[in-house]
Structure 1
Amino acid sequence: MSEDQAKEKKEAWYTLSGDVNSDMVHRVFEAVSHMTDEGIDVAHVLVQSNGGYVSDGLCLYNFLSNAPVEFVMYNGGAVASIAVILYLSGTRRYASETARFMVHKSHATASPGARPDALNIIVEGLRADDARTESILRKHIELAPEQWAIHQYSDLHLTARDAKIAGMISEIGDFAPPKGAHLSNI
């Protein structure tokens, strides 16, 4: 084996779609287990998700950020809500020209007739979730003050070009597995 071949990293191509929930967490755990068994060095992952549960997204972010595989993330359509946090675990990130991102504060629905102490617990949980997700956002992206202001009270939508300016993506580019590459759905 030549020195160049020894340095060549083993790459694989995946798609990950759906709600960010315990099922997705389980699927990702299983997929990364297979990746490590197969000696995958770099996993290219196309993410398509409108979000889901904050704790599951944070778990995936922490797990993928520290896995023994380098993750390259792609947005070919929509990555929204807590799925943005999952997406930010990639060491390199790309988005198609027509892709969109959306970030917002946490929200919940209280049971009808909920007592003030129960509402307080919900509010404190939402504040804790917002603090956790915002720290990750601020670690990876730089939004303009007016964008942070929108994020404070509403949904903030970003085009691929906006995401590039904010540092959310490395480049505008499509998920394009090479001819003959095996594509696996997580």
Structure 2
Amino acid sequence: MIDNKHTHRGDGYFTLAGDINSDMVRRVFDALGKMTADGIGTAHILLQSNGGYVSDGICLYNTLRNAPLELVMYNGGAVASIAVTVFLAGQRRIASDTARFMIHKSHATAAVGARPEALQIIAEGLMADDRRTEAILRRHIHLTQRMWDVHAHSDLHLNPQDALDTLLIERLGDFSPPRGSLVFNI
């Protein structure tokens, strides 16, 4: 249980690191239950992830975006691939001046000797995932046409200034809970 005696004005401080997968989804669900039961009004979450599964990332985005609390997301190092979608769940988003972001199209590896029908199913799934993630990106950030062009064909890396310019973050800053606060790992 989160101890309210150690929170600052209803704030809670959390770290969330690793691959975006079903285990992370379960951990976030459990943490949200504890946050709401303990009366956390604002959750400050430091996210560190190089990505993972698209559907799990979209589930986390939708869950966190609609959670009954204010969510402040921090990037203190790297938020990449589908983790950028999770990061966008924050009503407020902050990044260290040494952080980086990376977005790219979905990709998969087909089995050796895969038949054309199987390849078509894989391609259709990847295109569907790209439509879902791009809709979320366009809802929150304003990439330049040059950035969209890079994203269409390769990894798009964004430094902190790019993140500010595109509204991916609202300001530069570090995850720095007040002295005496407890920090919980999700």
Provide the TM-score with structure 1 as the length reference. 0.95
**Alpha carbons of structure 1 residues 32 and 88: separation in structure 2 relative to 1, 3 Å:** same
Is the counterpart of residue 122 in structure 1 residue 122 in structure 2?
yes
Structure-1 separation of matches of 2:40 and 2:9: 8
SS in 1 for 2:45: strand
Q: Which residue matches 2:149?
A: 149
Q: Which residue matches 1:4?
A: none
Q: Deviations over 1:88-111 (max 9, x none)?
A: 000000000000000000000000
Q: Which residue matches 2:5?
A: none
Task: Tell me how far 1:15 sits from its aligned partner.
Answer: 0.2
Q: Deviations over 1:108-135 (max 9, x none)?
A: 0000000000000000000000000000
Equivalent residues in 2 for 1:105-116, closer than 5 Å: 105-116=105-116
Equivalent residues in 2 for 1:36-75, closer than 5 Å: 36-75=36-75
What one-letter code is carried by the residue in structure 1 that aligns with 2:115? R
CA RMSD, Structure 1 to Structure 2 (Å):
0.8
Question: Matched residue pairs, number?
Answer: 179
Is the counterpart of residue 83 in structure 1 residue 83 in structure 2?
yes
Structure-2 separation of matches of 1:62 and 1:170: 20
What one-letter code is carried by the residue in structure 2 that aligns with 1:150? V
Q: Which residue matches 1:5?
A: none
Q: Which residue matches 1:137?
A: 137
SS in 1 for 2:20: coil
Matched-pair identity in %: 62
What one-letter code is carried by the residue in structure 2 that aligns with 1:88? L
Structure-2 separation of matches of 1:106 and 1:112: 19
Task: Tell me how far 1:70 sits from its aligned partner.
Answer: 1.2
SS in 1 for 2:14: strand
What one-letter code is carried by the residue in structure 2 that aligns with 1:123? A
Structure-1 separation of matches of 2:143 and 2:64: 24
Structure-2 separation of matches of 1:25 and 1:160: 27
What one-letter code is carried by the residue in structure 2 that aligns with 1:160? P
Structure-1 separation of matches of 2:132 and 2:9: 33
Structure-1 separation of matches of 2:24 and 2:69: 18
What one-letter code is carried by the residue in structure 2 that aligns with 1:180? G
Task: Tell me how far 1:69 sits from its aligned partner.
Answer: 1.4
Q: Which runs of 4+ in 1 moved over 6 A?
A: none
Structure 2 residue ranges without an equivalent (≥5): 1-7
SS in 1 for 2:51: coil
Q: Which residue matches 1:98?
A: 98
Task: Tell me how far 1:9 sits from its aligned partner.
Answer: 4.9
Structure-1 separation of matches of 2:86 and 2:70: 14
What one-letter code is carried by the residue in structure 2 that aligns with 1:118? A
Q: Deviations over 1:131-184 (max 9, x none)?
A: 000000000000110000000000000001100000000101111000001100
